[in-house]
């Protein structure tokens, strides 16, 4: 009979409290006979930690253990982990972070949308391989796969520089962002895109 026990059966974050390093994990299993904890790392690989035992952490669904003189905590993924885990270095939806940890969501893009007849940015969307999220009232709201909110002929778009994503999101949350101000945040690879039908005469 196997002695393996699913200690932490879902994606999470492992923190080494001794040196305050963070890393995403896919899961952690405990060998009850040897006391060894096997941590499945993200995106791949695993590492074993010898320990005398583990204890519940201070937060819900949190595990603490000691191995080779270092203290470790495994906790659930939080939106704020996007600041170090996301390519955009900003808070993003937990579902998107979970996908990123499991290897299903490796591509991220932040896109601003404009209208031909408006001087302001009218929409902001976080795009992933597994779904899109619109920024509304300071929160990310998942769009349905068939949502055509920003697919009209008079809508055009520009990608935001990943290194400026968090700054732009904060600006968008607090103000009406003009199309002129947007130029300071555009990705170097981004070219404003208009619907092909709208460019035809």
Model confidence pLDDT, tens digit, residues 133-153:
999 999 999 998 877 777 777
Whether residue 112 is found in the same domain as residue 64: no
What residues contact 129, with CB distance under 8 A and at least 6 apart?
99, 104, 105, 106, 107
Residue 143 has what DSSP assignment? P
Any domain includes 13:
yes
pLDDT at res. 195: 46
Asked if residue 96 belongs to a domain, the reply is no
Give, for 7, the enclosing helix (H) or strand (E): strand 4-8
- What does the block give as tokens for 16? 């080494």
Return d(Cα 134, Cα 101) in angstroms, integer.
Answer: 22
Locate 21 and state its tokens. Answer: 């390093």
C-alpha 194/C-alpha 198 separation (Å) is 7
Q: Are strands 36-41 and 121-128 parallel, antiparallel or unpaired?
A: unpaired
Where does the pLDDT of residue 62 fall: very low under 50, low under 70, confident under 90, or very high at 90 and above? Answer: very high
Mean pLDDT (whole number) for 4-8? 87
Same domain? For 187 and 119 the reply is yes
The answer to whether 61 and 75 have CB atoms below 8 angstroms apart is: yes
Total number of domains in the chain: 2
SS3 state at 99: helix
Element of type H or E holding 128: strand 121-128
CA–CA distance, 131 with 157 (Å, rounded to integer): 18
Tell me whether residue 47 is in a domain: yes
Please enumerate in sequence order all residues whose Cβ is within 8 A of that of 199, keeping only pairs 6 or more positions apart, or say none: none
Do residues 110 and 126 lie in contact, with contact meaning Cβ atoms separated by under 8 Å? yes
Task: Let me know whether 178 and 119 are in one domain.
Answer: yes
Residue 185 lies in a domain: yes
Domain that holds residue 111: 107-194
Alpha-carbon distance 63 to 54, whole Å?
7
Torsion of CA 180, 181, 186, 188, to 10 degrees: 70
Give the pLDDT band (50/70/90) at residue 58: low
What pTM does this model have? 0.82
């Amino acid at each position: 009979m196997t002695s393996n026990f699913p200690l932490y059966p879902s994606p999470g974050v492992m923190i080494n409290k001794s040196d305050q390093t963070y890393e995403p994990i896919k899961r952690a299993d405990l060998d009850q006979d040897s006391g060894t904890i096997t941590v499945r790392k993200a995106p791949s690989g695993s590492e074993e930690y010898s320990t005398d035992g583990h204890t519940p952490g201070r937060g819900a669904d949190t595990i603490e253990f000691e191995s080779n003189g270092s203290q470790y905590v495994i906790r659930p993924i939080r939106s704020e982990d996007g600041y170090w885990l996301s390519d955009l270095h900003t808070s993003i939806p937990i579902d998107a972070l979970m996908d990123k940890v499991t290897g299903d969501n490796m591509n991220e893009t932040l896109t601003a949308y404009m209208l031909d007849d408006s001087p302001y940015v009218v929409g902001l969307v976080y795009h992933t391989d597994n779904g899109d999220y619109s920024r509304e009232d300071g929160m990310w709201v998942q769009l349905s796969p068939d949502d055509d909110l920003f697919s009209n002929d008079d809508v055009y778009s520009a990608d935001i520089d990943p290194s400026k994503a968090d700054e732009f999101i904060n600006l968008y949350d607090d103000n009406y962002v003009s199309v002129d101000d947007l130029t300071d945040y555009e990705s170097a690879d981004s070219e404003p895109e208009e619907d092909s039908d709208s460019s035809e005469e």
